[in-house]
Chain A
Amino acid sequence: MEGLYAFCVGLLTACGIFLALRGRTFSVVIGLTLLSYAVNLFLFASGRLKLNAAAVLGESEQYSDPLPQALVLTAIVIGFAMTAFAVILAMRARADLGNDHVDGTLPAQPGDASKKSGGSQ
């Protein structure tokens, strides 16, 4: 179980980082979302994975650490708010700057020299 769990967290993190490094705001926002999912799972696992163990005393024979669950709740709430803000900001940037690149200007593509924006090339 631990191996599969660790693999999932690692895969989510890798995809999140890859997408966050892309140039368009949409993929960056998706990347940030995946990263926050990975973080939530990771935080949950920091209290060790246990089967049949409730966080409430007396409900089961073993009990699990309740603190990571509280941390995950906080992280989910904050991550959700931040993602919502990032989405709105990305839309605002699309409207203000005229494109959806994170730098606000489209990089010159090889082969479309006619479209470049008056640089000194």
Chain B
Amino acid sequence: MQHLSIFPILIPLLFGAIMLLPPISRDINSQRITSIIGTLFLLISSAVLLYQINAQGVQLYALGGWQAPFGIALVADKVSSLLVLLTAFLAFCVMLYAVAGQDKGGAYFHPLFMFQIMGINGAFLTGDIFNLFVFFEVLLIASYALLIHAGGKQKTQAALHYVILNLVGSSLFLFGLGILYGTLGTLNMADMAIKVGQLQGETATLAKTGALLLLVVFGLKAAMLPMHFWLPKTYASASAPVAALFAIMTKVGIYSIFRVYTVIFGDDAGELANIATPWLWPMALLTITIGTIGVFASPGIKTLSANLVIISSGSLLACAAINSEAATSAALYYMVHSTLASAGLFLLADVMSRQRGKAEDRFVRSRPFVQPRLLGFGFAISALALIGMPPLSGFVGKIMILQATQSSAQTMWVWPLILIGSLAALIAFSRAGTTLFWRHNGSVAAEAEPAKITEIMGIGLLLFASPILVVFGGDISEFTQQAAHHLHDIQASAYALLPGVAQ
């Protein structure tokens, strides 16, 4: 169907708007049902979109009938449709978890959730860089409000840092866009990719400034090293469904880095070819290092999962720095794995902290769990997946990244850091598991509440994705390989998207 590629933006927008209107907005139960139906629709339409893209190739959707590069185009290719499906699946699982009671902490949880999904999907689908900025703002303003959902001192403090940093980031984004528009005269990403090769001398230097300003902004979203300080506190203080949904937010930054620095400033960019690579290398490696240190220093399981998000961001940035088809393919696989696994761990951490009384999620001796077997099983699966132990998806993803290194110098830097990161995760998880499950005293806490059935379903779906990613590993890695090939082939990712422009 022709309009399928705009559905992932329209569905959350419509459902979010409907939930703001009276008959549904008054009653939390009808909001919950609407949300579940909405995310289910979204999941189905993204799956159909992915199937259709796989069968028929890239879909170009010219908004308002204005052809690119004059109008804004939505580009649904293999990369973006894969990530849209990932977002839809994550949203469905998180919503299943949230309807059990986590959405009652504040007003407008459901509409904001939908608007955030809309922003994320839009950022993945758009083919216009100013439109990317607009969708970034949509997802950010929804995330600001979601972050302080349910209130509390910790959240206000974390939200203040997060909001101020991202507002500065938005200003830098606009500065970068202004410079790029001033030098290239276009904002369509495919058109930029074609025009950037012709820049020379002073204009090229100016465009380079703009491009590197954008790297700062995307790095801020992706938690690249000097800009990662907001992440642990923000993720650890956000309420569980919000933190789990935020697991995809760093990936939006990573995706933008891949899109901008592979397609626009990639191999064919003339004087500006691969300008980000010399910056990405040290940043990526240092990000993995700081994440590893953070994993060791984490006092509780939420901070631990936040630091694991930093490690996975660093690994993905390293893939962007390697800048080859194999690395991009590995990154896409690892992105799917790490989003689902870390979202699962955030939700699981919330269930655990609700059953431990005052100790919450900290690694201290405390009361035993109400459901030790269920939680232990879930914890073991998510730990194995996030550490990267066989037989789960983390192992496959990390092997793919390690195999993607090209020269011996790259191998010498990337292998030890990623493996030490895994070792740190292994140590931290064994220490955490020992304390959480075996070192307890007294009886079950009086205020402890067992996990509800939809909560278990949500977490179960997220964790079950990890073995599925391994069982269908061949098909999925073949798909990511094709997606990466598409991204690295300027003929497919730029010229084919502009009707009437020949190479």
Q: Chain A: residues with CB nearer than 8 A to chain B? A: 16, 20, 25, 28, 32, 35-36, 38-39, 42-43, 45-48, 67-68, 71, 74-75, 78-79, 81-82, 85-86, 89-90, 92-93, 96-97, 102-104
Q: Could you tell me the distance in whole angstroms from the C-beta of B127 to the nearest C-beta in chain A? A: 16
Q: Would you call B175 an interface residue if the criterion is a C-beta within 8 Å of the partner chain's C-beta atoms?
A: yes
Query: A46 to B181, Cβ gap below 8 A?
Result: yes
11 new A-B contacts at CB < 8 Å, known A86-B164, A97-B153? A25-B160, A43-B174, A43-B181, A45-B182, A68-B178, A71-B181, A74-B130, A75-B174, A89-B144, A93-B160, A103-B157
- Contact present for A43 and B156 (CB under 8 Å): no
Of B165-173, B251-259, B317-325, B381-389, the segment with at least 4 beta carbons within 8 Å of chain A is B165-173
Q: Report chain B residues within 8 Å CB of A43.
A: 174, 177-178, 181
Asked whether, in the complex, the Cβ of A97 is within 8 Å of the Cβ of B181, the reply is no
CB-defined interface of B161-195 with A at 8 Å, one 1/0 digit per residue?
10110011011001101110110000100000000
What residues on A are CB-neighbors of B153 within 8 Å? Answer: 96-97, 104
| Closest B residue by C-beta to A16 | B171
Known: A78-B134, A89-B144. A102 touches B178 (CB 8 A): no
Q: A97-B157, A104-B157 are in contact. Are A35 and B178 (CB under 8 A)?
A: no
Contacts of A81 in B (CB 8 A): 141
Cβ B134 vs Cβ A74 within 8 A: yes
**Interface set of B (CB-CB < 8 Å, partner A):** 130, 134, 137, 141, 144, 148, 152-153, 156-157, 159-161, 163-164, 167-168, 170-171, 174-175, 177-179, 181-182, 187
Known: A78-B137, A89-B159, A96-B153. A46 touches B144 (CB 8 A): no
Closest to B156 in A: A96
Q: Would you list 15 pairs from A and B whose C-beta atoms are within 8 A, ordered by A residue? A: A25-B160, A32-B167, A39-B178, A46-B178, A48-B182, A71-B178, A78-B134, A82-B137, A82-B170, A85-B141, A89-B160, A93-B157, A96-B152, A102-B164, A104-B160
In the bound complex, how far is the Cα of B152 from the Cα of A85, in angstroms? 18
Cβ–Cβ < 8 Å partners of B175 in chain A: 39, 42
Residues of B within 8 A of A45 (CB): 178, 182
> How near does chain B come to A105, taking the closest CB pair, in angstroms?
9
| CB-based contact B156/A20 at 8 Å | no
Asked if A90 and B160 sit within 8 Å, CB to CB, the answer is yes
Whole-angstrom CA separation of A90 from B159 in the bound complex: 10
Q: How far is the CA of A74 from the CA of B492 in the complex (A)?
A: 31
Task: Write out the residue numbers on chain B whose beta carbons fall within 8 Å of the beta carbon of A20.
Answer: 164, 168
| Interfacial chain B residues near A85, Cβ < 8 Å | 141, 144, 163
CB B296 to nearest CB in A, in angstroms, measures 22
Q: Are A46 and B182 in contact (CB under 8 A)?
A: yes
Check A102 against B171 for contact (C-beta < 8 Å).
no
Residues of B within 8 A of A35 (CB): 168, 171
B178 and A92 within 8 A (CB): no
Name the contact of B164 in the complex, choosing from A32, A38, A78 (C-beta under 8 A): A32
Across the interface, name the chain A residue whose C-beta is closest to B168. A20
Q: Which residues of A lie under 8 Å from residue B171 when comparing CB positions?
A: 16, 32, 35-36, 38-39
